[in-house]
Amino acid sequence: MKKVIVSAPGKLMLFGEHAVVYNHSCLVTAVGQRMKVTVELTQQETFELNAPDVQVENYVKPMSELGLGDIPKGAKFVEIAIVNFLAQNKITGGLKITTQSEFSSQFGFGSSSASTVCVIKALSELSAVNLDNKSIFDLAFKTVLDIQGKGSGFDVAAAIYGGTLYFVTGGKVIEPLKIGNLPMIVGYSGIKADTVTLINEVGEKAKKYPEMIESVYSQIEKLVEKAKVALLKKDWQTVGELMNFNEGYLSTLGVESKKLADMIYVSREAGAYGAKLSGAGIGDCMFAFASDKVSQAVKDGIIKAGGEVIDVNTNVEGVKVEEKI
């Protein structure tokens, strides 16, 4: 085998963002839009990357210089993933890689983590080391931390395992939950959120008000535990109430924006079970859970509030090999 095509899903945080960075639990779900990565072994001792979605075209360097020098933003995750894989495993020759995303990198669906996971899975196939999911997680999470310095790894887990997961910081617990489809409507705010900046801002607040912020985190953890039970029972009414609770805490942490709040409030007014932001906050996406009866009204409301409705499938497969050539 010389060439492999691997895909992995995007993700949305359901409950527990921010708190999960500091040793608390969260709930995350994978979404149907996928990242697809083609990795080919070549005779030349070079690394070649094309990632048109993040403006990387014909980026070439010797394999011996991987991880060194100035790395373009759009190439970082792929390149450092290879460096981390090669620190433990061997391949001979060079690598030609192309990434192609079914979703915009602006949505906050986790395109960087999904491409990191795809690259490690592809290298594991090509070198026949057949890493298990936890080993792929550890290498991919290390890659994210090498680049961002911060993060819980929930996005990496969603790309690997798919479905809906109960997750604790750094992969201490990764528990796939048997839930099936979620009655989820997703709205994109049109604002790009910078995750690391927002983690740092919340961190500053925690330095100034340590007891207050720690108690917010532990309240969030309590509602994550309740939401896990309610999700497993498909008790959408309770899930919705807990979403609204969680949004209140996110507002306390300072990561709600007027745009997201408008989209969230119109969803509730249109009859959704509940609505909240997803991820770091300020921008990216919000989501609502809604019955079929009110789903069109919720979508119309999100659009009226200036958002874009993104159709997503839930209950989707994690990382998988699409083709071996």
The one catalytic residue among 155, 194, 284, 311: 155
CB of 198 to ligand PMV, least distance (A): 6
Residue numbers 182-211 binding ligand PMV by CB under 6 A: 193, 195, 199
Complete edge-to-edge strand list for the sheet that includes strand 184-188? 274-278, 285-289, 184-188, 308-310
Chain centroid offset of residue 157 CA: 8
Nearer to ligand PMV, 138 or 155 (CB): 155
CA distances from 61 to 65, 67, 146, 206, 304 (A): 7, 10, 20, 42, 48
Look at the alpha carbons of 231, 222, 302, 109 in this order and tell me if their dihedral is positive or negative. Answer: negative
User: Phi/psi zone of residue 109: left (φ > 0), alpha (ψ -120 to 50 degrees), beta?
Assistant: alpha
**List of residues 6+ apart from 63 with CB closer than 8 A:** 45, 46, 47, 94, 95
Residue 18 in contact with ligand PMV, rule: CB under 6 A: yes
In the bound complex, which residue of the shown chain has the CB atom lying closest to ligand PMV? Answer: 279
- The one among 152, 164, 246, 267 contacting ligand PMV by CB under 6 A: 152
**Catalytic: 70?**
no
Q: Which range touches ligand PMV (CB under 6 A), out of 72-80, 203-211, 277-285, 317-325?
A: 277-285
- Tell me the C-alpha distance between 261 and 49, whole Å: 39
Residue 17 in contact with ligand PMV, rule: CB under 6 A: yes
Q: Which range touches ligand PMV (CB under 6 A), out of 13-21, 75-83, 89-97, 298-306?
A: 13-21
Nearer to ligand PMV, 13 or 159 (CB): 13
Nearer to ligand PMV, 18 or 228 (CB): 18
Cross-strand partners of 6 = 37, 321
The secondary structure of residue 244, as a DSSP letter, is H
Active site residues: 155
Residues contributing to the site for ligand PMV (CB under 6 A): 13, 17-18, 20-21, 108, 151-152, 154-155, 193, 195, 199, 279-280, 284
